[in-house]
Each structure stands twice: as structure tokens, then as C-alpha cells.
Amino acid sequence: MNPNQPLTVADFQQFIRDRYYSTDQARGTPATFMWLVEEVGELSSALAAPPEKRDPANVAEEFADVIAWLCTLANINNVDLAQALRRKYLEQGGPQGHK
């Protein structure tokens, strides 16, 4: 994957699958979900810092980690995230009101 080319959700999910699937599958859904929750907690901590003390690079890294673990969880549960996003948010005008 060329880091200078545009990146799609599908491309990134496939990259994560290609690189980590066997390990992720062996870990299973419950343990993988806990990793995702841990990363969400790290993102929460990064965002909770006062703006003047917030490290933008760390915030960006934590967002990336959450997306990577979400892709991992989707992969081991046979969910195509691009397709799920398309169906939920883009087709038929998307959800009305709350997500």
C-alpha cells in the first residue's frame, strides 16, 4: 500500500486483514473487542486534555488506532465496513435524526 495514494475504508480494512488476520482470528471477538475499548479509552484521555496541553499528534494516532482495531473486529466478524457505511449512511437519504 502506497502511503501517498488516497486511502479508502475498503483499502485500509483489506490492509489490516492482509497483515493481521491470522493473529486477530486466533484472538477472537471478545479479546479483540477489549483491545478496541482500550484504544477508545486512550482516545478519550487524549481528547480530555485541556486544549493548551493536548498533543495533536497523539490525538491523531489514537484516532488511527481506534479505526485499525475497528477494522480488525469487522474482519474477524465478516463485516465489510465500506458496505455497512454505505448502507447505513448513504442509501435512501441515510438515517433521520440520531445515528
Instruction: Give 38-79 as a DSSP string.
Output: HHHHHHHHHHHS-GGG--HHHHHHHHHHHHHHHHHHHHHTT-
Tens of pLDDT, residues 53-87: 999 999 999 999 999 999 999 999 999 999 999 99
Judge whether 69 lies within some domain: yes
Measured CA to CA, the distance from residue 42 to residue 74 in angstroms comes to 20
Give the model confidence (pLDDT) of 16-53 as tens digits: 999 999 999 999 999 999 999 999 999 999 999 999 99
Residue 59 is assigned to a structural domain of this protein? yes
> 60 lies in a domain?
yes
- The CATH number of the domain holding residue 60 is 1.10.287.1080
Give residue 99's pLDDT band: very low, low, confident or very high (50, 70, 90). Answer: low
What local confidence, expressed as pLDDT, does residue 95 receive?
77
- Domain range for 46 is 29-82
Question: Does the residue 90 lie in any domain?
Answer: no
Give how many domains the chain has, as a whole number: 1
CA-CA-CA-CA torsion for 59, 64, 68, 69, nearest 10 degrees?
A: 10
Specify if 36 maps to a domain.
Answer: yes
The confidence score (pLDDT) of residue 72 equals 98
pLDDT reported for residue 3:
82
For residue 18, tell me if it sits in a domain.
no
pTM: 0.90
